[in-house]
Amino acid sequence: MNGPLRWLLATVSQLHEETAGVKTISFDVPGWRGHMAGQHVDIRLTAEDGYVAQRSYSLASPAGTDPRIQLTVERVDDGEVSPFLLDELRVGDSIELRGPIGGYFTWSPGTAGPLMLIAGGSGIAPLMSMLRTRALASSRATARLLYSSRSERHIIYRGELDRLRRARDGFVLTHTLTREVPDGWTGERGRIGRPMLMQRGFAPRERPHVFVCGPTPFVDAIADHLVAIGHEESSIRTERFGPTGESK
């Protein structure tokens, strides 16, 4: 490692509403040491009385050393930090941040083998970093994204994903909608199960690198399906967030 991860002062340069309840926050972070696609940061908020809250968020911006980084944050209704980030934070504000963190849920364009991404809701953020990194590197590594959203209006990065798809550079995009499906919808419908993984994903024999990110029950179910249809456990990397629904 390159020495301790120091707290840096990150200044908000742009706020962009992706969907209702989801914003992308762009920061300027002087001293940022750069990151790989899939890594995350810790942020630290301090109230006037000294009370501190820390949380982790995935980096959505592409890998590299650019000190302008982006986080995509979804509101957790009874949360303490995400409502502040979405409702109170203004361009020009500064918060403390350190990173990058995590060296396992990462992908770089030099990696041999296909890239298979499976996202649930705002779990798209670190996977978007991988797709952006891939596009910037003009990588020809084949990539497939299977992205599950509640409804059309919940799809994050929709326009950009369409542009990446239209580049016809080996990236295949599949959306699935789990709750509301509009008339004329041409994507998949319903939760991601084994048939959808087999039809829309890479086959185990193609030895893809698989990244799954989303709410805990989503990731648990998908990881089990992937093992059941023959994917190597060691090829499946997961990142879970949110409640498990278990109080015990």
Bridge-based pairing state of the strands 115-120 and 22-28: unpaired
CB atoms within 10 A of CB 235: 15
At how many degrees (to 10) do helices 124-136 and 158-166 cross? 40
Question: Where in 201-240 is the site for another protein (CB under 8 A)?
Answer: 216, 220, 223-224, 226-227, 233-234, 236-238, 240
Nearer to another protein, 32 or 157 (CB): 32
Sheet containing 68-74, strands listed edge to edge, beginning at the edge strand earlier in sequence:
52-58, 40-46, 94-101, 8-19, 22-28, 68-74
Distance from C-alpha of 234 to C-alpha of 104, rounded to nearest angstrom: 11
104, 70 Cβ separation under 8 angstroms: no
32 binds another protein (CB under 8 A): no
Look-up: residue for tokens 């930090």? 81
- Identify the residue among 45, 76, 198, 229 touching another protein (CB under 8 A): 45
Stretch that binds another protein, among 44-52, 61-69, 128-136, 197-205 (CB under 8 A): 44-52
Q: CB-wise, 96 or 152, nearer to another protein?
A: 96
Stretch that binds another protein, among 21-29, 96-104, 112-120, 143-151 (CB under 8 A): 96-104
Residues at the site binding another protein, with contacts judged by CB under 8 A: 1, 3-5, 9, 42, 44-48, 50-56, 80, 84, 88, 90, 93-96, 101-105, 216, 220, 223-224, 226-227, 233-234, 236-238, 240, 243-248
